[in-house]
Amino acid sequence: MKKSFRFLFSGLAALLCLAVLAGPAPAGSAEGFGTVRESGVWWLTLPGGPRFFSMGVNTVNGGDKKTRDRGYYFENFYPDQAAWAADTQKRLYAWGFNTRGGWSDPTKAMTLPMVPEIDLGRNARLHWFDPFAPDALELTIAKARELTAPYRDNPAVIGYFTDNEVGWWNAPLFKWYLGNEWASYAKRHVWRMVYDHYQGKWDKLLADFVPAVGYNSFEDLQKGGAELKLRPGGRGIALINKVTAACAGRYYELVFKALRAVDPGRLVMGARLPLYYNQDAVLASRGFLDVLSTNYNVDTPDGWVAPYYFDGLAKLTDTPVLISEFFFAANENRSGNVNNGHLMHVATQAERATGASAAVRHFAAFPNVAAVHWFQYYDEPTGGRGDGEDFNMGLVDIHNAPYETLLAAMAPANREAPAIHAASPARTTPPQPAVVPIHRAAAPVSLTDGALADWPDKAGTRLPWLRIPAPHVPFGDVHMSWSQDGLNLFHLAQNYADLFLLAYEGEFPISETYQLQIEVDAGAGLRRFAACLLPQPHRKYPGRFELVPRLFRIEDDGRLTRIDETGLVQVLDKPLPHIALEMRLPAKELGLAKLSPGQGLSLRISATTFYREMTMTLGAPAQGRGKKDADKPFAAILADK
């Protein structure tokens, strides 16, 4: 099936040569950039119609004069901007890149296509002010006209990122708008949603929420300062997600209509989601985006990209995806960057090159990913940029010298990306077999190394049949292997949670934790286990939480019996919304002395997010139309490979 959008404007004929990166053009033509889906694969299209896979770089600009003594600045290396532009574009083409990403110089001395980030929502005061005000669209159009003025006559502009890292963090939006004064239209909108959700019955609200002192009725909630906290055991998170969807939908509607009004020939390319997506917000964006953009923090140092993330977006939205940032940094670098945070970094430039090039190939293999943009052109200044971030993210160092090892690996991957992408329909999930083979561990699995390096065959160990009620999609992946001493699992997922939103005292309630539950019968009777992730203030990152694992045996009567987690469970050091859990279920806990090849198992696996917001399950395959068997266990066998 082919689905295409065309946007008209003139010029840019010189860029047609880029079409060779992606093979023959689709049928039809147009005079502007667009998108097309052919045989299930999404592409961007150049003026005139040829398709292309966008390999971009962020911050293709001359740097900051204020940090020229400790950072990259073009006048340190070039006589003028024209010389900088010519050399930089020549380099990028040689390295297999074909697009300028966010925060790049719009100079017409370069012919590379580009996507400006214009902060439309922030400048139009849509996020934390009053997007439901009657004049919100009028104000957004006026601001869009102002912000697009520098770009409207530039034929290299593909479209616009409307903002950067709009996360749709559900609880902060709910708390902010509910706490506003009644004069705010957003406050009234949220209050009406609360009232309607509970049909005006205060006792129903109290089953889900604990109101602030002095707020004892729906009328009280109309006052400024109103606050509702989740009640443990309640289902208030469902209402919060409805409010999030309403706010996100209003944002996407306003920025889409505004950009169509002032620059209808350009693509609306989203708000660069921040390494995470809220499913209800993505669903609310349908019909208001031409391209969905998301940043991505690669999951492991070997460049593995968890398939659930992009497979999920393919189901939630009917647009191509542009990866607006990905990156790899190394402690071994020439700019003195210390890599002071949780973003992907490794020890050496050789490891950086291996991981980054592998990630490009993984990204290109998703049919819905039509663009991959690297962050960024040059390293951050020695000592860090203005907000303190200090990472070796550059293709070149602060002295303008390319990282040759990195680029020697990335350039071939960049050039191969279009062919990999064209072949991506072959990457399909097979039906769940009647008996699922569990692979033998390729290496001893360490539960104390803080890494997943002992899982070299991540594709082979993945169990890709997790299910969740529509319209939502699985929010993570589960991998499993075995060795004589037990079953090994690792779990990558995403779950944002405002951990101050819950009304509780003492330790965080187990019922509200993120949980991975495993039921297994290895021939010695059914055993049930739960790995629960308790949040605590993070030791390294102020204002964030870290997750501390607790491992339990679930008794027949539902009681939880604590199992010593030492050497059995580890949570990788990634702050929320990232979940990275590795664990082992020892053979003795399964009632056996050891596991053996050919041994049959009965298994059921489920994961539940904080506050029981969503649960995804891997159970028996469905038998017949409409029949749901996820609550039944599935059969597995320990494969001798």
Predicted structure pTM score: 0.94
Max CA distance (Å), the chain: 77
What pLDDT does 262 receive? 98
Q: Output the six-digit token pair for 172.
A: 């902060």
What pLDDT does 574 receive? 84
Q: Output the six-digit token pair for 495.
A: 């779950």
Q: Output the six-digit token pair for 305.
A: 């990209």
Q: Contact, 478 vs 491, CB < 8 A? A: yes
C-alpha gyration radius of the chain: 26
What pLDDT does 427 receive? 77
**How is 8-55 classified by DSSP, letter by letter?**
-----GGGGGGGGGT-SPPSS--SS-EEEEETTEEEEE-TTS-EE-EE
The residue with greater pLDDT, 341 or 541, is 341
The three-state secondary structure class of 578 is strand
The three-state secondary structure class of 313 is helix
Q: Contact, 634 vs 619, CB < 8 A? A: yes
**How is 482-504 classified by DSSP, letter by letter?**
EETTEEEEEEEEE----TTSB--
**What is the C-alpha to C-alpha distance for residues 528 and 558, in angstroms, rounded to an integer?**
10
Q: Closest Cα partner for 522 from 437, 599, 612, 431?
A: 599
Phi, psi of 557 (to 5 degrees): -90, 5
What pLDDT does 539 receive? 78
The three-state secondary structure class of 438 is strand
Output the CA angle 625-284-613, nearest 5 degrees. Answer: 65
DSSP state of 197: H
Q: Contact, 481 vs 456, CB < 8 A? A: no
Tens digits of per-residue pLDDT, 199-253?
A: 999 999 999 999 999 999 999 999 999 999 999 999 999 999 999 999 999 999 9
Q: Output the six-digit token pair for 66.
A: 């204020």
Domain boundaries, the chain: 3-162+245-426, 170-242, 435-638
- The continuous run of DSSP H or E covering 419 comes out as helix 404-422
Q: Closest Cα partner for 382 from 311, 453, 333, 313?
A: 333
Strand order in the sheet with 99-100: 99-100, 54-57, 369-374, 321-326, 292-295
Q: Output the six-digit token pair for 494.
A: 């995403």
Confidence of residue 25 (pLDDT cuts 50, 70, 90): very low
Do strands 600-608 and 329-330 pair parallel, antiparallel, or not at all (unpaired)?
unpaired
Across 250-270, average pLDDT: 98
Count of residues making up the chain: 641
What pLDDT does 21 receive? 43
**Is the domain covering 435-638 a CATH 3.30.420.40 domain?**
no
Alpha helices (runs of H) in 423-483, residue ranges in sequence order: 458-461
Across 140-154, average pLDDT: 98
What distances in angstroms separate CA 479 from CA 363, 396, 461, 482, 492, one per listed residue?
19, 36, 5, 11, 9
Q: Contact, 18 vs 46, CB < 8 A? A: yes
Q: Contact, 224 vs 181, CB < 8 A? A: yes
One-letter identity of residue 244: T
Tokens 């090039």 — which residue?
A: 357
Tens digits of per-residue pLDDT, 595-613?
A: 999 999 999 999 999 999 9
What distances in angstroms separate CA 342 from CA 305, 458, 577, one per listed residue?
16, 22, 12
Tens digits of per-residue pLDDT, 468-512?
A: 999 999 999 999 999 999 999 999 999 998 888 999 999 999 999
**What is the C-alpha to C-alpha distance for residues 353 and 489, in angstroms, rounded to an integer?**
28
Q: Output the six-digit token pair for 613.
A: 């917001």
Across 90-97, average pLDDT: 98
**Which superfamily, per CATH, for 3-162+245-426?**
Glycosidases (3.20.20.80)
The residue with greater pLDDT, 487 or 546, is 487
The three-state secondary structure class of 125 is coil
The three-state secondary structure class of 121 is helix
Q: Contact, 559 vs 566, CB < 8 A? A: no
Across 411-433, average pLDDT: 94
Phi, psi of 542 (to 5 degrees): -55, 140
Residue 501's contacts (CB-CB under 8 Å, 6 or more residues apart) are 171, 175, 229, 230, 611
What pLDDT does 629 receive? 61
Tens digits of per-residue pLDDT, 346-389?
A: 999 999 999 999 999 999 999 999 999 999 999 999 999 999 99
What per-residue string of b and e applies to 319-356 under the rule 16 or more CB within 10 Å gives b?
bbbbbbbbbbbbeebbbebbbeebbbbbeebebbbbbb
Phi, psi of 392 (to 5 degrees): -85, 75
The residue with greater pLDDT, 639 or 622, is 639
Do strands 329-330 and 345-346 pair parallel, antiparallel, or not at all (unpaired)?
parallel
Phi, psi of 321 (to 5 degrees): -110, 135
Domains 3-162+245-426 and 435-638 share a fold: no
- The continuous run of DSSP H or E covering 100 comes out as strand 99-100
The strand pairing partners of 629, in sequence order, are none
Q: Output the six-digit token pair for 439.
A: 């692979």
Tokens 């300028």 — which residue?
A: 100
What per-residue string of b and e applies to 516-530 under the rule 16 or more CB within 10 Å gives b?
bbbbbbbeeeebbbb
Tokens 């002192």 — which residue?
A: 213
Tokens 């075995």 — which residue?
A: 482
**What is the C-alpha to C-alpha distance for residues 298 and 239, in angstroms, rounded to an integer?**
32
What pLDDT does 116 receive? 98
The answer to whether residue 18 scores a pLDDT higher than 60 is: no
The three-state secondary structure class of 299 is coil
The answer to whether residue 3 scores a pLDDT higher than 60 is: no
Residue 469's contacts (CB-CB under 8 Å, 6 or more residues apart) are none
**What is the C-alpha to C-alpha distance for residues 366 and 352, in angstroms, rounded to an integer?**
22
